[in-house]
Amino acid sequence: MKLKTTTTRRISALCAGGVLAGAVTATIAAPAASAAVDCSPGGVAGTVNSVTGSANAYLARHPGANQAVMAAYGQPQPVAASALRAYFTAHPNEYYDLRGILAPIGDTQQQCNVAVLPPALASAYAEFMAG
């Protein structure tokens, strides 16, 4: 599946250092609504598009998070991770908000046994969600 370049950059940058932001505080367990995931190609694409749109909308409403994510995009992974860790340490609610927004990608990958993200982005996503 092909994502817009800007969207891919945002999600990639967000995910790249996110695991370190997760170390900020313990993960808050939220009740999981176990809705059935649509594993058809259209369902998977719809999930990715929906998550991408939601992440972009969230970042548009949170200029500090958007700036941190976009600045991290062009940096080497350790520098990006450190910068994002610093930002999300100071803004843990934004971290948890974004984790919630991105969660359907993981649900889809796990329940449908598919990879919906390119390998480098999938790795960054896994790090962000691990926190």
- According to DSSP H, which parts of 5-76 are helical? 5-16, 18-22, 41-61, 63-73
93: which 2 tokens?
């609610």
Q: How far apart are CA 97 and CA 95, in angstroms?
A: 5
pTM here? 0.69
Domains and CATH numbers, the chain: 39-130 (1.20.20.20)
Residue length, the chain?
131
**Which residue reads 């200029």 in tokens?**
63
Q: Tell me: the pLDDT tens digits for 30-77?
A: 334 456 889 999 999 999 999 989 999 999 999 999 999 888 878 888
